Structure 1
């Protein structure tokens, strides 16, 4: 059976499962739509959380970035892993005890202010739309590679699929769909890694193959990769040109941004209690570790195989006549450019130019590099083809990449939907709205968000790789949402004035800094022009401390929160003293708005 047929079987089969689950678990109430009825088993929720967490940035982009950035790309691995631990241990149980299933809802009640709630809605939308732009770019990469179409067309197809199961099923449908997507994506990620590890090192465990000797050679895989890249003029794979402070800032932004991500926090409200949320967080960490410990090996293998198959290869002009042209090149003693390269070239994500006219492709550092476009987000999907693995493995990886991108996109759509329908409409503008109307508004909001996210994904492809776009979202969350959540839980003196000042201080300068250096006048600037030498990916970590300081200073300079709010903060740190079920408080009276 051909590779194309295997790909269609895996993709069509998995999509049928996702849509079937969405229909089976169709949300019938706002409770189902927002928090899946609070009755998801902790292990099941842990798996769904892992799928929600391991987005296109984790599945598609992280290994690609590490492959070409080497040690410098490890900030994404360290930051996201550490960030999840921080969220699971430091914040999630207390937020679950508080009982509010959206971040703006927590901010509005904790800081007894409609204004604070509205600013939190704005922050959540900024973060979510930035994050989902990266996911939709991943969807476009996966679909364009699968269907052999242009990148933008791939995004349009992905928009249609997300629309069906996110708008129809809500959080209930998304939760069980994400369980299926986790099974697909983790199998798709590890199986080719095992194959390639066996081919290169003879070790079936990728994590060990990464540090093992190359098969038949008395040299480790990493040492050989270092030698190969330095011979081509690149930096050693195990080194980086990033400053230590910038690496620290990016890692910090990713870590603390995780603790402020609305689409991850909302997952802890689909279980029945704060205790179940802790168990769920532990299981999610186990499921996440399976992929994250494999990623460095996938990255190293991809870089080595890419250089081996592309460098000094002879360009084949026609994909339709590929076999004939390739056979003639081999007969003449040459090495034809691999077919996988020609396949991806159609998508516009790869390009070459024979600058010296010798008919061969030189992959080098500097101006004479003839690989003129190389989108690193394609490498996890292309890896099985580069390694010449069986067609069914290639089809499986395509299905896994789509599962990763779509699972997180759906979770983010729920945040956007709930922010508009619940926090903005029902809790602020139309307080007499009934459940049926709110559910209808939520679905319309999700549908509109799908369309907006698709077009943002098309635009974001011009700016950066998926993981870098996602890193901007983490920076925004670290600077704007993490300080008010953290201080709101652990410091009862934090008041509404401090919260408002803190969120604005974090959001505005972080967004403007990213805009300036990625879109605006400073787009061509280098590290010398960055504030304190910190890149746009890491600046959220710097402004997070400014935001914390401003929040504390303003709170101390203004009136203390009402006593009932201070008592509430004390209560949520003692498990069992405050029991609620997300949408409606069951054990305490509603918190008053002390405007």
Structure 2
């Protein structure tokens, strides 16, 4: 516990110090860090912004629980970032508008379209941030000895300081520090555990190597163990191919519509710098994502090895617990299980009264029911304890988990803040607002968003795992924002009526489907085309795009200057309507309305 407190306090102190050092003094600093962040630094900050609690805590946990079925999150998020970096980010940077609603408002020459885009961005961001705050609560509840809700309140306070005071400038440099913490925290335990199980110090190779002292690979061994306990093979899945495809697609295309990732490409000086920044971000992201499958496999292997067929002893005094084999043939339950049991995230119910803890799947050959429940989201945080690694490794892991959750939460808060203060207030309701007033509103909006996000996070654990909650946000972004961004860049005939219809349909249909099948009808057999709520955004994305295209074709085309602009932004350096590429494209870049507006 002492090491945990040391790493958490030291890292949080660093974040707050950076935020105070880089405190925003203008709207330009607050929203886009002055456009002067180095591409490599921005790539590191983007990676931290991207790798949230869903990536750090929950993705490996889902891979541990679902095996191959959990790989949809890995494939979807990885492919999605490539899609965003290569297909959209440079063109959005060339356009010069640093928020999605700002792009929509100018590209579709419509205040109504801008307001709907604000609503979509807020829906996506609040859904996403709820998952991050839930991850914060999970980490604090175990390692700082507080309850789940108290952990979220502590996290809210930390985010409030460096996001509200520092703005994007403070958030950017804070995220660089957070990336260093989270990547070190993720890989060091993985190296230790890979060495212990297989003797290979490279986790990416370790989980496909032979188990130490045996002539069988680690994955083959895991397949055999889980099938003997009644689960499907670890390297197989019971998900339908269409659902796997839909979830992967929703995560991919949702990435390309995520406002908090897009805004990062405006903190660099130009479109060419945005491309370089995207390349660096891919390198930094790969350092964690290539390790995640190994972390998930090792976690599943160790959980079964340490818990199954152990004897549950009703005592916290492990010094008095029996050593070796107990009277009923089992070994005492490991201390890590007792520690996590206090959080309510793991549990044991002795259904047959034999005192042994049986982990069993639905097809257990011995007919026993599963008696052990383990929340997927603890797999990564608990892995150092399960493997009995040194205390400093455990402390480092919790600091990394908190860094991952808080870095993304800060980025999302900036999106919420800018959507309210810049897009809704300055560009829509109060167009004569001064910079000073806008900055004040931005900070108030960020503070309010912190409070709302915390309240949502307190209820997230009741809904689903962190990664699943985040998947809902990606689905909403895929269906509501991606079509109008993509068509707005690559099809000059897309008009404001089509954009409004597309966004409205995508948001309402996807949100309604998720709500209905999560809270009203939970029977998977009733899913549309067999697609789960996590993947439905991909399906509705096509309907949303078709609706936008059809409506655009049956209504008046956009003004000629808008069509010329669409052609200009696809050729770097030739933009004619919004000034040169190197112009300051901060929040004061208010263009003169066209006659169509």
TM-score range, shorter chain: over 0.9
Deviation at 1:332, TM superposition (A): 8.7
Give a deviation string over 1:266-290, Cα, whole Å, max 9, x none: 0000000000000000000000000
Structure 1: segments with no counterpart, 5+ residues: none
Paired with 2:246 and 2:416, the residues of 1 have a C-alpha distance of 28
Of 338, 341, 355, the residue aligned with 1:342 is 338
Q: Cα–Cα, structure 1 residues 41 and 339, in superposed 2: closer, same or farther, change >3 Å? A: same
CA contact (8 A) 1:316 1:322 kept: no
RMSD: 1.5
CA contact (8 A) 2:351 2:371 kept: no
Paired with 2:356 and 2:75, the residues of 1 have a C-alpha distance of 39
TM alignment of 1:202-213, pairs within 5 A: 202-213=199-210
Deviation at 1:371, TM superposition (A): 3.8
Give a deviation string over 1:14-65, Cα, whole Å, max 9, x none: 1110000000001111111100010000000000000000000000000000
Deviation at 1:316, TM superposition (A): 2.6
Give a deviation string over 1:334-371, Cα, whole Å, max 9, x none: 41111111111111111111111111111111394454
Of 156, 163, 174, the residue aligned with 2:171 is 174
Paired with 2:371 and 2:461, the residues of 1 have a C-alpha distance of 18
Of 581, 585, 588, the residue aligned with 1:582 is 585
Paired with 1:371 and 1:147, the residues of 2 have a C-alpha distance of 28
Q: Cα–Cα, structure 1 residues 332 and 6, in superposed 2: closer, same or farther, change >3 Å? A: farther
TM alignment of 1:438-449, pairs within 5 A: 438-449=438-449
CA contact (8 A) 1:150 1:346 kept: no
Deviation at 1:71, TM superposition (A): 0.5
| Equivalent position SS for 2:373 | strand
CA contact (8 A) 2:256 2:478 kept: yes
Deviation at 1:403, TM superposition (A): 0.3
| Equivalent position SS for 1:100 | coil
Give a deviation string over 1:458-497, Cα, whole Å, max 9, x none: 1111111000000000000000000000000000010000
| Equivalent position SS for 1:407 | helix
TM alignment of 1:510-529, pairs within 5 A: 510-519=510-519, 521-522=520-521, 524-526=522-524, 528-529=525-526
Deviation at 1:152, TM superposition (A): 1.7
Answering whether residue 235 of structure 2 is matched by residue 221 of structure 1, we say no
Q: Cα–Cα, structure 1 residues 358 and 584, in superposed 2: closer, same or farther, change >3 Å? A: closer
Of 195, 209, 214, the residue aligned with 1:198 is 195
| Equivalent position SS for 1:183 | helix
Structure 2: segments with no counterpart, 5+ residues: 576-580
Paired with 1:549 and 1:196, the residues of 2 have a C-alpha distance of 49
Q: Cα–Cα, structure 1 residues 593 and 405, in superposed 2: closer, same or farther, change >3 Å? A: farther
Give a deviation string over 1:553-587, Cα, whole Å, max 9, x none: 1111000000111111111111012324322577x
CA contact (8 A) 1:114 1:428 kept: yes
Answering whether residue 156 of structure 2 is matched by residue 154 of structure 1, we say no
Deviation at 1:155, TM superposition (A): 1.2
Of 108, 111, 117, the residue aligned with 1:111 is 108
Residue in 2 that maps onto 1:412: 412
Give the TM-score normalised by the residue count of structure 1.
0.97
Residue in 2 that maps onto 1:483: 483
Residue in 2 that maps onto 1:34: 31
Deviation at 1:174, TM superposition (A): 0.4
| Equivalent position SS for 1:323 | coil
Paired with 2:471 and 2:126, the residues of 1 have a C-alpha distance of 12
Give a deviation string over 1:75-113, Cα, whole Å, max 9, x none: 000000000000000000000000100000000000000
Paired with 2:154 and 2:320, the residues of 1 have a C-alpha distance of 33
Q: How many residues align?
A: 587
Of 50, 71, 74, the residue aligned with 2:71 is 74
Deviation at 1:594, TM superposition (A): 2.1
Paired with 2:426 and 2:325, the residues of 1 have a C-alpha distance of 67
Query: Does 405-414 or 137-146 show the bigger shift?
Result: 137-146
Deviation at 1:593, TM superposition (A): 6.7
Deviation at 1:162, TM superposition (A): 1.1
CA contact (8 A) 1:103 1:262 kept: yes
Answering whether residue 95 of structure 2 is matched by residue 98 of structure 1, we say yes
Answering whether residue 332 of structure 2 is matched by residue 358 of structure 1, we say no
CA contact (8 A) 2:357 2:372 kept: no
Deviation at 1:329, TM superposition (A): 6.8
Give a deviation string over 1:397-447, Cα, whole Å, max 9, x none: 010000000000000000000000000111001111111111111111111
Give a deviation string over 1:504-525, Cα, whole Å, max 9, x none: 1111110000000112x21x31
Deviation at 1:326, TM superposition (A): 5.2
Paired with 1:326 and 1:148, the residues of 2 have a C-alpha distance of 27
CA contact (8 A) 1:150 1:348 kept: no
Residue in 2 that maps onto 1:594: 596
Give a deviation string over 1:117-146, Cα, whole Å, max 9, x none: 000000000000000011111111111121
Q: Cα–Cα, structure 1 residues 316 and 163, in superposed 2: closer, same or farther, change >3 Å? A: farther
Paired with 1:559 and 1:332, the residues of 2 have a C-alpha distance of 79
Give the TM-score normalised by the residue count of structure 2.
0.96
Deviation at 1:325, TM superposition (A): 2.7
| Equivalent position SS for 2:347 | strand
Answering whether residue 560 of structure 2 is matched by residue 563 of structure 1, we say yes
Deviation at 1:330, TM superposition (A): 6.1
CA contact (8 A) 1:70 1:237 kept: yes
CA contact (8 A) 2:185 2:396 kept: yes
Give a deviation string over 1:238-269, Cα, whole Å, max 9, x none: 11110001100000000000000000000000
Paired with 2:411 and 2:126, the residues of 1 have a C-alpha distance of 12
CA contact (8 A) 1:151 1:348 kept: no
| Equivalent position SS for 2:210 | coil
